Structure 1
């Protein structure tokens, strides 16, 4: 973190041992001003500061980095130009003066000299220092973002005489860092002069990063925000840090203010009150859509825990309220949310969230009441960063064969065949086999001569059952229900009739019963609906226009029918998009949690499958509804960016952004050089990394979209005209990952320094490891316990591990035989 806020550390997580060298030497002899010409050959000078230029607070290259304690109290410090080392003629130059006046417990300030350090490289700083009295000074070589674990640290003693100090360490982070100076005592002036930073070249060999054999999953927390709702309220209405969001921009649209009545605060004397109201505009009575929000720093891929207490007025019951973590800009999707029913006593609320937004995207806590003219109250809000092993395996079972699934909408091709990619599941979607195609007229099911009934019966089901009987006995079929026919729709006279739920429950039950009876023992999994939370597409249509509560009713009806007709069939909740956690929360609360066997979601990961926080956020919603034991089905997803415009896309191909910006298809098309198409390694590795990470997160099923077709990510090359045997780069990555995971258990999974990923997998009596890095290529040293023998890439290239156990890692995962 650059100069600014660095929160109080409430608990420290375990620190892994890395290659670190720290050397500090001190001499009393004055040294002449340093000069590059006098540097030894093995030191390359990167930065020099003699402090001779004019400056008021800090010399060029230096800045203070300060952070408050949990109560918001800051340290007070002084930075200015002081008197430096005297030359041979007795003339004093300039120096950097640093003094901490006051330091409340938990708050502090460092004098920081930031640099773009290279991971694995050793660096040295040389400087002279003195103090107005003997004092202790802390030196750090450290990254500037969490975790704030130093690569090198040392405490030196600075006296009233100028002394020369040398401090050295090997930098191991993949992000920018700094040399830092911290003062142990307050009220003491410390002066720095003749400061220089060097890269230690030696043989110019970058030291390898040691890979630990495992990682402790112990959970610790760091308090980031603590809002007690005491003190002065802004405009007499809003507690510290809270603001209103009111589309009507009317003062009479809502009420907010401090509440001090007895019983209406948890601790202290005050809570925040909030109420939406009606107002008149254009001779119409309208309901306010006002909300309260609190902005907080939510680092991408980091996990946070939010706690608060909420209540309604005394005597009230089931007052609806929504409290969640949401993106500030469009699309206004929640990362996690609680849809609550509040009563007249305080209700503790807790939710975990992994921040999955792009860097720089604002994140807010959002609070609103779902009913006008009802007060709600909030008190004792905390936000803590959760430090654990974010990649720790979920569950201890064998990786499911169901993880390896596909979509194959071109199965009607005469040259279609079952490709040898390791897949065991086919999801029927974009196959024109949903309800509106099968029963265009009530009670008319043209299985033999109708276009779509015959298509499902004679093309898809016939070929898949033949494949199951002859090639793959593990093959599972996922059938996605929904899409109401016009005659059964609750909105039959609209272009979007298929998205409306059926008006008659019996019509829905008859549909489920007919399909279940016909394909008993053949269709294994029924997915309730496709992407019910997704907004309208370009044509104005959506997949579902009803409420989550109505969908929960349909789920209960479908479960009752399936239990009678095919008790082995699995019912999975509708496959929500990555923005659908609020929809899922309402669906589960309305009875969906009990009705389904598993929870469905869709995840298009592009070139960033490491952003698995989407999965963790869904799991947290499941946990809050008591169904964390149920299976999680990623029924649709891929490395595609162009389908639905979910990410960077260039020339109808998956792309990566080269410049800062929105990083979507429009950004890529706006100016040449904004983006580039992905290369073969990126195509191959994204799919493999996603499968490996989903296996570690305990995901039951993933159906790649698609096997063939014209989309920007597919598993086969030219499938429409080929013999279905030539895999694409995505297909090669898919097949290799399936081979590395099939029948195995993920014993350990962890991340080193934010961008080195490690999985330990047991397959039968054999163990192997899979490693990759999302940062710049890096050299690592494998743990001796692994008895590493050979490394294999996704492309099948094999390399013997050298005796020093060192290996160069890149974006493409490598399998290490043990």
Structure 2
């Protein structure tokens, strides 16, 4: 498993990094918007972005930087946006966008791994321009980034509201512009239907969106899941047990969704306490949810995914999932459910059970393996 699959969106301007193992960071809502960095034309405040990139480099974490949020001066008559320092409208003169992109890409050549070209254009508080203008902004930015930093990756805008037909139709319209030809990946919002719904719903949405992209001729583009829809802001906190299970299953649902082109998962978010699932507050310790994210990352370090399945296709009850992996020639599986508990007899070759709290159990013939919403790992004997 490539480590960058296990990403986090950073909700801090402090430069702090996660206190548990992760694989990549996304800078958004971290005071790194265009409108924050260039609050006056030609005057740049790099302090927060520099602090964040430096910290990520020290940890060896690839950075996905979201370029979004038109400065007030660049669209003086534009629509107000979700953030006080930004407009939702695109810049009145796209040359301002060009200059900003070139400044960022030049300064962070070889330091920022990837650029996401706009966040959440599916909502008028985040983008209030036309699809044609958005596609042009993508084409111009991609051309500049490739010229300035040929090693950097470019992710097309992260469309959301994809559970709704209107959201998928907007994605279709964007795909028809040919803009995906300018991107290495499609950044998309692939959440469950609600922020407190089972994370396995991500699999259904990934399948539906893959069908849309395939129908529009771009079905082979890698997908990066950049987080939730706007309803995350009004969802009450998950209780501690649900939170710790949800956090791990978010990534497992993403692994299952690799069938549908999903290659990265950026959990939203690190540092914030105003989200339904807190993994670590700024200045605080990781929660159990965050620690278990790190344990999953440890479980899968150096592993290769072989296959995933669920329910009847594997002779399991509906809602029971299994993903099979291999590391250094030795197979292992991770099993979990969306609800309830399953007990299975120990199968031939199964010899060690690992639990999310760090406990291990030696397995013997006649034992039974119980698992539920908290995933477990089962190792097989070599050979």
Alignment of 1:172-571 (within 5 A): 399-412=1-14, 416=16, 418-445=17-44, 447=45, 453-457=46-50, 459-465=51-57, 467=58, 471-472=59-60, 475-489=61-75, 492=77, 494-496=79-81, 498-534=87-123, 542-571=125-154
Q: Does 1:615 align with 2:206?
A: yes
- Residues of 1 paired with 2:205 and 2:78: CA distance? 37
Distance 1:735 1:493 in 2: 42
Q: Does residue 1:736 correspond to 2:295, yes or no?
A: yes
Gaps of 5+ in 1: 1-398, 448-452, 536-541, 655-677
In 1: Cα distance, 2:217 partner to 2:128 partner:
27
2: distance between equivalents of 1:687 and 1:546? 35
Q: CA deviation at 1:637?
A: 4.3
Select which of 369, 372, 376 maps to 1:807. 369
Structure of larger gyration radius: 1
Describe the SS at the equivalent of 1:526.
Answer: strand
- CA deviations over 1:313-346 (Å, ceiling 9, x no partner): xxxxxxxxxxxxxxxxxxxxxxxxxxxxxxxxxx
**SS of the counterpart of 1:685?**
helix
The match for 2:248 is 688
1:133-144 superposed matches below 5 A: none
1:169-213 Cα deviation digits (max 9, x unpaired): xxxxxxxxxxxxxxxxxxxxxxxxxxxxxxxxxxxxxxxxxxxxx
**CA deviation map 1:213-257 (0-9, x unaligned):** xxxxxxxxxxxxxxxxxxxxxxxxxxxxxxxxxxxxxxxxxxxxx
1: CA distance, partners of 2:150 / 2:355: 43
| Cα contact 2:12–2:31 (8 A) shared by 1 | no
Counterpart Cα distance in 2 of 1:530 and 1:578: 12
Deviation at 1:642, TM superposition (A): 6.9
The 8 Å contact of residues 634 and 703 in structure 1, kept in 2 or not, is answered as yes
Which residue in the other structure is 2:356 paired with?
Answer: 794
Give the Cα–Cα distance (whole angstroms) in 1 for the partners of residues 373 and 152 of structure 2. 39
Work out the number of aligned pairs and report it. 359
How far 1:703 sits from its partner (Å)?
1.9
TM-score, normalised by the number of residues in structure 2? 0.87
Q: Partners of 1:775 and 1:433 in 2: how far apart? A: 39
Name the counterpart of 2:277. 713
Higher strand share goes to which structure? 1
Could you list the runs of 5+ residues in structure 2 that have no partner in the other structure?
Answer: 312-316
TM-score, normalising length: structure 1: 0.42
Residues 250-305 of structure 1: per-residue CA shift (max 9 Å, x gap): xxxxxxxxxxxxxxxxxxxxxxxxxxxxxxxxxxxxxxxxxxxxxxxxxxxxxxxx
Q: Deviations over 1:467-511 (max 9, x none)?
A: 1xxx42xx211111121112222x625434611012222221111
Q: Judging changes above 3 Å, is the alpha-carbon distance between structure 1 residues 740 and 628 closer, same or farther for their aligned structure 2 residues?
A: farther
Compute the RMSD of aligned alpha carbons. Answer: 2.2
The 8 Å contact of residues 685 and 811 in structure 1, kept in 2 or not, is answered as yes
Which structure is higher in helix share?
Answer: 2
Aligned mates of 1:456, 1:543 — CA distance in 2 = 21
Query: In 1, Cα distance between the equivalents of 2:142 and 2:48?
Result: 26
Tell me which of the two structures has the higher relative contact order, counting C-alpha pairs closer than 8 angstroms and 6 or more residues apart: 2
> Does the aligned pair in 2 maintain the 1:553–1:591 contact within 8 Å?
no
User: Structure 1: how far apart are the matches of 2:100 and 2:146?
Assistant: 15
Whether the 8 Å CA contact 1:684–1:794 is kept in 2: the answer is no
Partner of 2:314: none
Measure how far apart 1:812 and its partner are.
Answer: 0.9
Native 8 Å contact 2:248 2:292 kept in 1: yes
